[in-house]
Structure 1
């Protein structure tokens, strides 16, 4: 196997067949829905061979109890012109994760991109409660789902990823480094710790992959219009703006596709090591790489949250998307 070819992050040209990620192999761990699904689709659209894993299949649901399945994700990748394999897997089970990596090695002989997007902890998130008021059992489960899954996946995937120079790990988080420098009491201690921990995990992996010519970066979406978020507001992606009447600050929200485009652009950037160990946002990367959300805008949610919503100013997205 030769060293990975690097291409531009512009989304134009590159690779052996004209797509920027042609010849790359990606594992999106936690690709059943939301940002993970969109990342899988956009990596596939950009030419990568995508392996999409998750717990909810057409045969069984996870504790999230959502209808989206990992097979549907693979179908969406193929509909976008990509190549995808769906594998039902629980990333808390080392044997299942080992089997996923062994299958990728047997079928592809390489792994170029690992996206650690496993979560599933929303069902245990309780807003506005202090540590001693939260369920210890549920909080520890949230940490296992949000942190242990990432560690287990990287443990087995990194030897294959580091086989050749140029490997990329993307740790999906919630919150920029600046936002998470302050304790986010609204979401509770366990949630806060889970999201900060994977940012630190990106830093650790960036250091440990450096000698192998690889890098790791944490990526955060903004206010994501995931399937569950849309359901909570009683809207769809087509009419999401109707929710603004109930929550005016929802005007800054972004589609999962925006995050998918961010990760695809990052993966195709030959100079992505400039972000190594840090945390970047979908809005921040849009300003660098020039991609847009599905409506042609470039929402910068974290700047908006800091300067408008958290500053108790009236909702107004002018200048922020």
Structure 2
């Protein structure tokens, strides 16, 4: 925990060492990189010099069911602008043939894969909080499970053979909430399953990949200031604190770059195998690796929700930044 700071007094800055090309020559794939955390992870990997394949369903020609305007081509361009090489491959990860073709392309062009990030989701519009399982729309619930579980399983099936070509591979299962945090019910059975499953996937994949010298973890951001969340509150990244009056807990929010830096730090760590099978958060890895969010703070939303929101502790969000 850090001492409270005046947010206005912080200058926007990159974390120490972020400009070094510590991932030059490395090949990464971020599945579900059209927007939000996935986009930021791809950009931060690119900022360290990686070649990053980015996938998603929304392109400049076609929008997915999510209905957002961000495209996978834009993400690839941002990766390249950051200093890496971005390669956009529009892919529906529910289609095994499409993911198999993606794997063949990466194999043909690179011959291996060093970092695989499973960030496919796109189920926010399906969530019905506060409804019992018998009250919820079954079709929406099952679709949510397909988007969060089937996509990740299909992706791992076809891409892990490239990841184990040589020792040192990293697989990141992205979810919402750590294993500890998700002991609290997520107010909708389908959403609860959707966000707990990647944690268990990472645990199982850790067992299967370990003999090949690869590492698998699950990773969560905190209260994410994604494009969709900013739009929900009617704010931008520049004035996001204006939303705190409507949602006080938004004071602990973090930019997508924060969890992106967490992935980049993991990928650059030669001792990342010590995390194998673990459920991690952006705040925990920020303390370990010393990076910060874009405003120079180091928010720990998981600890804030554990202690303050659910634990009843009298403390402000600034004490957890």
Q: Indicate the SS of the match to 1:50.
A: strand
Distance, in Å, in 2 between the alignment partners of 1:270 and 1:12 is 16
Describe how 1:139-150 pairs up with structure 2 within 5 A: 139-150=141-152
Q: Indicate the SS of the match to 2:318.
A: coil
Distance 1:319 1:129, change over 3 A: same
Query: Which residue in 2 is equivalent to 1:4?
Result: none
Distance, in Å, in 2 between the alignment partners of 1:60 and 1:189 is 31
Query: Which residue in 1 is equivalent to 2:5?
Result: none
Query: Which residue in 1 is equivalent to 2:249?
Result: 249
Describe how 1:224-243 pairs up with structure 2 within 5 A: 224-243=224-243
Q: Relative contact order (alpha carbons < 8 A, sep ≥ 6): 1 or 2 greater? A: 2
Describe how 1:148-159 pairs up with structure 2 within 5 A: 148-159=150-161
Query: Which residue in 1 is equivalent to 2:293?
Result: 293
Does residue 191 (structure 1) correspond to residue 198 (structure 2)? The answer is no
CA contact (8 A) 1:168 1:216 kept: yes
Distance, in Å, in 2 between the alignment partners of 1:78 and 1:26 is 13
1:71 Cα deviation from its structure 2 partner: 0.5
Once superposed, what is the RMSD of the aligned Cα atoms?
1.5
Query: Which residue in 1 is equivalent to 2:120?
Result: 118
Q: Indicate the SS of the match to 1:241.
A: helix
Distance, in Å, in 2 between the alignment partners of 1:47 and 1:139 is 39
Does residue 305 (structure 1) correspond to residue 317 (structure 2)? The answer is no
1:310 Cα deviation from its structure 2 partner: 2.4
CA contact (8 A) 2:34 2:58 kept: yes
1:311 Cα deviation from its structure 2 partner: 3.6
Query: Which residue in 2 is equivalent to 1:5?
Result: none
Distance, in Å, in 2 between the alignment partners of 1:224 and 1:183 is 19
Query: Which residue in 1 is equivalent to 2:93?
Result: 91
1:227 Cα deviation from its structure 2 partner: 0.5
CA contact (8 A) 1:118 1:150 kept: yes
User: Which of 38, 47, 50 is the matching residue for 1:48?
Assistant: 50
Distance, in Å, in 1 between the alignment partners of 2:298 and 2:71 is 29
Unmatched tracts of structure 2, length 5 or more: 1-14
1:313 Cα deviation from its structure 2 partner: 5.7
4+ residue stretches of structure 1 with deviation over 3 A? 9-13, 311-315
Does residue 170 (structure 1) correspond to residue 187 (structure 2)? The answer is no
Query: Which residue in 1 is equivalent to 2:74?
Result: 72
Q: Indicate the SS of the match to 2:70.
A: coil
Unmatched tracts of structure 1, length 5 or more: 1-8
TM-score between the two structures when normalised by the length of structure 1: 0.93
Distance, in Å, in 1 between the alignment partners of 2:152 and 2:318 is 37
Cα deviation, 1:105-132, whole Å, max 9, x if unaligned, reads 1111110000000001111011111111
Query: Which residue in 2 is equivalent to 1:203?
Result: 203
1:183 Cα deviation from its structure 2 partner: 2.2
Query: Which residue in 2 is equivalent to 1:160?
Result: 162
How many residues get paired? 307
Distance, in Å, in 1 between the alignment partners of 2:214 and 2:80 is 28
